[in-house]
Amino acid sequence: MASLLTPEFDAQLASARVSSFALATLTTSVKNAALEAIATGLEASVAVIVAENAKDISNGDKNGLSAGLQDRLLLTEARIQGLADAVRDIVKLTDPVGQVIRGMDMPNGVHLSEVRVPFGVVGAIYEARPNVTVDIAALALKSGNAVVLRGGTAAENSNRALVQVIQDALASVGLPRDAVQTIDSYGRDGAKALMAARGFVDVLIPRGSSDLINTVVMESKVPVIETGAGVVHVVLDESANLEWAVDIVHNSKTQRVSVCNALETLLVVESAAARVLPSVLQKLRDSGVTIHACEKTRAIFADSVPVTDDDFGQEYYSLDIAVKVVADIDEAIAHIRRYSTHHTESIVTNDVANAEKFLAEVDSAVVMVNASTRFTDGGEFGFGAEVGISTQKLHARGPMGLQEITSTKWLVRGAGQIRK
């Protein structure tokens, strides 16, 4: 095989492949011991991690990194403790490797069983999200996969410190350090080489902006599980409970603006607009949200700016929201079909028929009724953490946890049978 980039880069990927062979047959107890060592290592290294993260934050300021991306980049003592807690949550989860999905006996006595197995080597390309370094490494380890990480220049110091903690933890329980590696030092050339590393890497998972994800999907020779940008919608119909509408919209938009499950576009059925919009939008304005509103919305709520077509397809990562009054639920669904990235959509309604229509006709990875879009998250779904939120339809869709980074194989046990 021709060199992917440099002999050193090729050697890193080869060592990841060798490490994956060892991980595939580990017992659950050994994997859990490694995870506990990672959690303990994170807690013991808070000062070092925060100091390295401060370098990235400072560089981000100098380079004009947006407020939303800086929020994603930031690691505080509380956030690092949250990462350690998430790793311990993964310890508690059932090990998927070896689980029998189905089995049967053929008429000739041959027994068939389909079982879960690791992918092997998982590659990840992401940007300004050091939490992903820990989440993916922990999930990969529990599911028996080695992982190669390209975490982006913006978080290079943070990622280096985190990978050091993880590798030290692996070594402390007798596992290969190369089971978790970073290729950040190779820059964009490393990312391009990782996309070409078919034969070294079994699956590639991009997380980040739509530009990053589209680049990986279009250029990668390695199979990709696509995680999507989040142009997320909430619909308020004529029966929407006002208190629920105010709280769900506010939480979906403001609880954390820099994440992919944050609300970006609010659609309100016209017959409910005068009743719900003043309270819903005033609470958003009180929290500093800029309202990008259609003419019908501005006639009801003047403290807003005119909306544009570009706003409806925008993932803001900021305290901005697009608002449109629609004729009915059918127009709301049509708008979602045009602008959605198929991530998460929610409706606030007390009409059972509208709720079921929305659930059936909206084609996104997660479709909700009377709930905040912020619940689309591996941790909230009980996965401990997530590899990403898949917006594609093959292999995995929605938040991806342990099972979603395994494949399957068939085991066939016979006693001398031959095919006639």
What is the predicted pLDDT for the residue at 387? 87
Q: Helix (H, G, I), strand (E, B), or coil: what is residue 63?
A: coil
Q: How far is Cα of residue 350 from the mean position of the Cα atoms in its chain?
A: 30
**Please, where are the H alpha helices in 220-366?**
242-254, 270-286, 295-300, 309-312, 329-339, 352-361
Dist CA 90 CA 83 (whole Å): 11
| Tens digit of pLDDT at every position of the chain (420 positions) | 567 889 999 999 999 999 999 999 999 999 999 999 999 999 999 999 999 999 999 999 999 988 878 888 999 999 999 999 999 999 999 999 999 999 999 999 999 999 999 999 999 999 889 999 999 999 999 999 999 999 989 999 999 999 999 999 999 999 999 999 999 999 999 999 999 999 999 999 998 878 888 899 999 999 999 887 789 999 999 999 999 999 999 999 999 998 899 999 999 999 999 999 999 999 999 999 999 999 999 999 999 999 999 999 999 989 999 999 999 999 999 999 999 999 999 999 999 999 999 999 999 999 999 999 999 998 899 888 888 899 888 888 999 999 999 999 999 999 999 998
Q: Phi and psi dihedrals of 149, rounded to 5?
A: -115, 130
CA 256 to CA 26: how far, in whole Å? Answer: 38
Rounded distance between C-alpha atoms, residue 220 and residue 197, angstroms = 9
Domains and CATH numbers, the chain: 7-225+387-413 (3.40.605.10), 232-375 (3.40.309.10)
- What are the backbone angles phi and psi of residue 96, rounded to the nearest 5°? -80, -20
What is the spatial distance between Cα 131 and Cα 75, in angstroms, rounded to a whole number? Answer: 8
Q: CB-hemisphere CA count at 13 Å for 101? A: 13
Look at residues 133, 141, 147, 148 and name the one whose alpha carbon lies nearest to residue 72.
Answer: 133
Q: Look at strands 398-400 and 388-390 and give their pairing.
A: antiparallel
| Count of C-beta atoms within a 10 Å radius of residue 95 | 17
Distance CA 204, CA 208 (A): 13
User: pTM of this prediction?
Assistant: 0.86
- The C-alpha atoms of residue 193 and residue 241 are separated, in whole angstroms, by 52
What pLDDT score was predicted for residue 4? 82
pLDDT for the residue 2: 67
H or E segment and range at residue 127: none
Cα torsion angle, 173, 179, 183, 185, sign: positive
CA gap 297, 55 in Å, rounded: 43
Please report the pLDDT score of residue 228 as a whole number.
73
- φ/ψ of 290, rounded to 5, equals -85, 125
Task: State residue 223 phi and psi, 5-degree precision.
Answer: -55, 140
- 352-361 helix and 329-339 helix, angle to the nearest 10 degrees: 20
